[in-house]
Amino acid sequence: MRTLLLAGLAASAFAGAALAATPEKAEQCPACHGENGQSQTENIPSLGAQQPAYVLIQLYMFREKMRTSEAMNGIAKDLTDDDLHSLSDFIGTLPKPKPPADAGDPARMAAAKALVDKEHCNSCHSADFSGRDNIPRIADQREDYLVQTLRDYKSNKRAGYDGTMAEVLGPISDAQIVELAYYMAHFTK
């Protein structure tokens, strides 16, 4: 209910943001995910410039209850396959999220970068962490969301589409998860 009410208030939040016409069903997104692709809400991801193939998979998984989120399971319940395509294509056109004003502690960033390099995060997520195909953009994603997501992948609370992240995170400690998230959230190219 809350989502629907907010959706009304935020109906035109995307106006002027994207070149493509806003699909009607995308009008409810900014209520939680923020305007212009940038989330201001705790633990809710920014959607800007997210990879369409990744978004489509997530919307599909929400619809089929393969990924659990009370709000998103409800919203995705009645989406058609065409809706999944138009929403994910549209989200891909939103501007990418901006890095936070604070550039991050240089020593902490350097240490985290060594970890990122060693774990080859760039191998799938691309050198600028903008993702590719079904692999998501993680650059400048919300730090709290990244920490939660990595923890959920590691514990398999969130079963990934193809299981890669559960495997990759096996030997990564929680302290390292916090540093990986810090680095990605503060990433500047």
Partner 1 sequence: MAYRTAFLRRTALAGLFGLVTLAASAQEAPKPLPPGSPLIGRPESEEAAKLAPVSAPPLPTAADKLPTAKLKVPPGFSVEVYAAGVGNARSLREGAKGTVFVGSRLLDKVYAITPNDHKVKVIASGLHRPNGVAFHDGTLYIAELSQISKIDNIEDTLDNPAKPTVIYSDLPKDEAHGWKFISIGPDNRLYVPIGQPGNNVARDPQHAQIRRINLDGSGAETVAIGVRNTVGFDWNPNTKELYFTDNGRDWMSEDVPEDKLNRLTKFGEDFGVPYCYQGNISDPDFGWGHSCSDYTPPVALMGAHTAALGMRFYTGSMFPAEYKDAIFVARHGSWNRSKKLGGDVVVVKLNKDGSVKSVTPFLTGFIADNNYLGRPVDVQPLKDGSLLVSDDWNGAVYRVTYKGKAK
**Cα dihedral sign, 135-181-114-105:** positive
Complex with partner 1: residue 20 or 124, whichever CB lies closer: 124
Complex with partner 1: residue 40 or 123, whichever CB lies closer: 123
CA-wise closest residue to 34 among 18, 10, 58: 10
Number of residues that bind partner 1 (CB under 8 A): 37
83 near partner 1, rule: CB under 8 A: no
DSSP-based three-state secondary structure for 107: helix
64 near partner 1, rule: CB under 8 A: yes
* Helices within 28-163 (DSSP H only): 30-33, 52-63, 70-76, 81-93, 106-118, 121-125, 143-154
Quote the least distance from Cβ 154 to partner 1, whole Å: 10
The residue ranges that bind partner 1 (CB under 8 A) are: 53, 56-57, 60-61, 64-66, 81, 84-85, 118-120, 122-124, 127, 133-135, 159-164, 166-173, 175-176
